[in-house]
């Protein structure tokens, strides 16, 4: 894959706070890259320095082999859709979409042709003559997208463009966005804190944490092999479970703790315990090396078909454990875990190994 | 708020309206009634028994009304125009600062308005003499600019501040240079604050006296109409003064009627995005 855009040692400080802190990232040509991270980790700042409305403190942004980090925004040929769409309220939808073309001094006939093409694609042809303040949220979002798409830029940046839509429209818009990106073959960089968006839209997901990329890969890779406990905790519909304990032999993927684990009908539920509460998605357990004792009871709470949560205390940092079994468990029951797949992290939270015991 | 308006409100509004209207009414009586019904009586009637244009015609013949009025118009348009020319960039710049700093700057600007006009006008007039700005339209306009500029900057700043910052960023991302960003996006969006700032500057200049009197006191060749008016009053020409005052209210009334829909409090506080 060709590298479209490359960030090298990018720093962005506001006064004393480090928003982007030695960020390195490569974006491939034609990919849909989702930048995912909790609020306040610099996602939006990353887009703003990319497009040029904020200056870098240090570092380089290279697009198609050219360092663009010193160029003003109007010379970068990068389109951006802001979170609030930033439609020009004094203009109609048509004028909004035509604005970038007008600024590029395109002939009137070409502007007209391009605007009508893109508005056909995005199904907003009938609202073109309306003032944008009169449009619905979904229409505004399409107009903003159309304005970005119409000028044929080198890369598209989208800052949580779906977050202002209501849930149902959002799901539709999401699939359309993906379709449009595939059809046009453009490079999209999409910022969100919504994991379901990341999962459904992305070719790759870059996880941003404290101003640098914590991990980048497909969403499945991130789910399967979070490179740190932080990512494991952050990604997925539910956080990973972490059990602090000593690392030991782990025969056949069975993870148990010395001394204290009694089991319910030993073997009966072997292979059926899921940690992570991710439904069918994963069978992870993480064991970080810790010499503290592991006297651990699992108190099972209520649940349908015993597949619901349990509550643990003590060494369980995450207390939700899913169990797939037809057997009902009672509070105070003890079980032994059998794990198909789990990751082992060091005390600092870095991945040591990923074990697939299947 | 109850949907039904209390009839008392109308009574109060009417009373207030009459109160404000009364001086204008007296002016009207003096200007259009024969002098025997106004100055000829110890207790003039409050209703016009006879209407005449003689006073007006005579006044225009006896004293130069048009000269000062035209000069006032010139000055007022220069003051209004200059206020926008300086106030728009200043308001834009100050709006970009953090509120902590910009509030201090605004307060600093208003120091001019807090001081008595004379305190500032006299030293300024000295400089104006050496710059040959005394007794000139430009001189009066520049001096009056001092009075109107702080409020103009304040209003324009409010306008810029009410715009989402991303609009400007979006325009830049869309490839617009600063000039187009201003001309096509920012200025059209703050047209109401701009208009208000212009009208207020214009009206302030229109009846500004202190600076005009000190910078250009010579009646009728150099002064603006408030100075000329003052001159006629002190020379005991009440009829001419009344006529003059009446004529002078016409442009203000026209302005207010034309732009009244914009002259609402909400625009002065800068909440223009609907």
Residues of B in contact with A73 (CB under 8 A): 169, 172-173
Q: What integer pLDDT is reported at residue B267 of this predicted model?
A: 52
Q: What integer pLDDT is reported at residue A356 of this predicted model?
A: 63
C-beta atoms of B166 and A104 within 8 A: no
Chain A residue closest in CA terms to B181: A103
pLDDT, tens digit, 9 for 90 and up, residues B164-176? 888 999 999 998 8
Regarding pTM above 0.80, the answer is no
C-beta atoms of A80 and B173 within 8 A: yes
Q: How far is A192 from chain B (nearest CA, A)?
A: 18
C-beta atoms of A100 and B175 within 8 A: yes
Q: What integer pLDDT is reported at residue A340 of this predicted model?
A: 55
What Cα–Cα distance (Å) separates residue B183 from each residue in B177, B178, B189? 10, 9, 10
A45, A47, A53: best to mutate for the B interface, most B CBs within 10 A: A53
Assess contact for A188 and A29: CB atoms under 8 A.
no
Residue A131: closest CA among A107, A164, A96: A96
Whether residue A133 lies within 8 A of chain B, CB to CB, comes out as yes
What residues 311-340 of chain A have any CB closer than 8 A to a CB of chain B? none
Residue A338: closest CA among A288, A279, A272, A266: A272
C-beta atoms of A74 and B173 within 8 A: yes
Residues of A in contact with B170 (CB under 8 A): 80, 82, 86, 88
Q: Which residues of B touch A (CB under 8 A)?
A: 164, 166-167, 169-177, 180, 184-185, 188-189, 273-274
C-beta atoms of B164 and A86 within 8 A: yes
Instruction: Specify the CATH number for B68-268; select among 1.10.3720.10, 1.10.1200.10, 2.40.30.10, 2.30.110.10.
Output: 1.10.3720.10
Q: What integer pLDDT is reported at residue A315 of this predicted model?
A: 37
pLDDT in tens, chain A (358 residues): 788 899 999 999 988 888 898 899 999 999 999 999 888 888 889 999 999 988 899 999 999 989 998 898 888 889 999 888 899 998 999 999 999 999 989 999 999 999 998 888 888 889 999 998 888 888 888 899 899 988 888 899 999 888 877 888 788 888 888 888 888 888 999 999 888 888 888 999 999 998 889 999 999 888 878 888 788 878 876 666 665 544 433 332 333 322 222 222 222 222 223 332 222 233 333 322 222 223 333 333 332 322 333 333 333 333 334 444 445 554 444 444 545 566 766 667 777 767 665 5
Q: Which residues lie across from B179 on neighbouring strands? A: none
Separation between Cα atoms, residue B178 and residue B168, nearest integer Å: 9
Residues of A in contact with B273 (CB under 8 A): 89
Q: What integer pLDDT is reported at residue A157 of this predicted model?
A: 93
Which of A142-151, B85-94, B247-256 has the largest mean confidence?
B85-94
> Which stretches does DSSP call E strand in A66-203?
66-67, 78-81, 155-159, 188-192
Q: What integer pLDDT is reported at residue A18 of this predicted model?
A: 87
Rounded to the nearest 10°, the torsion over CA B124, B130, B135, B141 is: -50
Q: What integer pLDDT is reported at residue B171 of this predicted model?
A: 92
Residue B244: closest CA among B274, B220, B216: B220
Q: What integer pLDDT is reported at residue A274 of this predicted model?
A: 31
Buried/exposed code over B111-124 (b: 16+ C-beta within 10 A; e: otherwise): eeeeeebeebbeeb
What crossing angle do the helices spanning B66-96 and B99-109 adopt, rounded to 10°?
160
Identify which has the larger pLDDT, B5 or A113: A113
Would strands A188-192 and A155-159 be described as parallel, antiparallel, or unpaired?
A: parallel
Percent over 90 (pLDDT), chain B: 27
C-beta atoms of A74 and B169 within 8 A: no
Which band of pLDDT confidence, cut at 50, 70 and 90, is reported for residue B274? Answer: very low
Sequence spans of domains, chain B: 7-52, 68-268
Q: How far is A115 from chain B (nearest CA, A)?
A: 15
Separation between Cα atoms, residue A313 and residue A297, nearest integer Å: 8
C-beta atoms of A82 and B166 within 8 A: yes
pLDDT, tens digit, 9 for 90 and up, residues B21-49? 898 888 888 888 888 887 778 888 888 88
């Amino acid at each position: 894959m060709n590298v479209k855009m490359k960030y090298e040692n990018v720093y962005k400080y506001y006064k004393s706070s480090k928003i982007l802190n030695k960020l390195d990232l490569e974006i491939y040509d034609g990919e849909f890259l989702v930048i995912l991270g909790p609020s306040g980790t610099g996602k939006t700042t990353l887009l703003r320095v990319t497009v040029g409305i904020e200056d870098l403190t240090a570092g380089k942004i290279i697009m198609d082999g050219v360092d663009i980090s010193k160029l003003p925004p109007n010379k970068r040929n990068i389109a951006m859709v802001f979170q609030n769409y930033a439609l020009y309220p004094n203009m109609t939808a048509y004028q909004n979409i035509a604005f970038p073309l007008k600024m590029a001094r395109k002939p009137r006939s070409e502007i007209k042709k391009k605007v009508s093409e893109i508005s056909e694609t995005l199904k907003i042809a009938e609202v073109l003559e309306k003032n944008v303040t009169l449009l619905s949220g979904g229409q505004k979002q399409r107009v903003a997208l159309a304005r970005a798409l119409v000028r044929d830029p080198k890369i598209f940046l989208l800052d949580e463009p779906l977050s202002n839509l209501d849930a149902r429209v959002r799901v539709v818009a999401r699939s359309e966005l993906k379709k449009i990106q595939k059809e046009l073959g453009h490079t999209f960089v999409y910022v969100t804190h919504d994991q379901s968006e990341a999962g459904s839209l992305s070719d790759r997901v870059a996880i941003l944490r404290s101003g640098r990329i914590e991990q980048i890969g497909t969403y499945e890779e991130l789910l399967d092999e979070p490179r740190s406990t932080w990512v494991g905790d952050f990604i997925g519909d539910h956080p990973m479970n972490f059990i602090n304990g000593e690392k030991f032999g782990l025969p056949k993927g069975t993870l148990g703790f010395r001394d204290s684990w009694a089991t319910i009908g030993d073997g009966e539920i072997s292979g059926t315990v899921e940690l992570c509460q991710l439904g069918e998605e994963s069978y992870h357990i993480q064991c970080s090396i810790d010499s503290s004792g592991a006297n651990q009871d699992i108190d099972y709470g209520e649940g349908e078909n015993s597949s619901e949560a349990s509550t643990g205390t003590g060494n369980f940092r995450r207390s939700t454990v899913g169990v797939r079994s037809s057997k009902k468990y009672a509070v105070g029951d003890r079980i032994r875990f059998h794990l198909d797949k789990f990751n082992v992290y060091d005390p600092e939270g870095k991945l040591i190994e990923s074990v697939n015991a299947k | 708020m109850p949907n039904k308006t209390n009839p008392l409100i109308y009574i109060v509004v009417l009373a207030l309206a009459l109160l404000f209207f009364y001086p204008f009414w007296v002016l009207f009586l003096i200007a259009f009634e024969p002098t025997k019904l106004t100055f000829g009586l110890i207790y003039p009637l409050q209703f016009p028994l006879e209407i005449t244009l003689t006073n007006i015609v005579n006044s225009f013949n006896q004293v130069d009304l048009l000269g000062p009025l035209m000069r006032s118009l010139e000055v007022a348009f220069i003051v209004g125009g200059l206020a926008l020319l300086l106030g728009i960039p200043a308001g834009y710049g100050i709006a970009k600062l953090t509120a902590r700093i910009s509030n201090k700057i605004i307060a600093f600007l208003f120091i001019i308005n807090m001081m008595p006009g004379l305190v500032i006008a006299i030293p300024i007039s000295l400089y104006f003499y050496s710059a040959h700005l005394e007794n000139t339209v430009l001189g009066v306009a520049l001096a009056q600019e001092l009075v109107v500029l702080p409020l103009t900057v304040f209003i324009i700043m409010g306008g810029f501040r009410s715009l989402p910052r991303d609009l400007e960023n979006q325009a830049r991302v869309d490839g617009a240079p600063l000039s187009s960003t201003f001309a096509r996006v920012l200025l059209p969006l703050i047209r109401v604050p701009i208009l208000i700032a212009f009208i207020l500057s214009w009206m302030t200049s229109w009846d500004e006296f202190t600076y005009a009197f000190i910078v250009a006191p010579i009646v009728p060749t150099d002064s603006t109409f408030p100075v000329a008016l003052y001159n006629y009053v002190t020379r005991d020409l009440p009829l001419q003064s009344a006529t003059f005052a009446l004529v002078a209210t016409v442009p203000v009334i026209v302005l207010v009627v034309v732009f009244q829909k914009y002259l609402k409090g909400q625009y002065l506080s800068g909440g223009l995005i609907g």
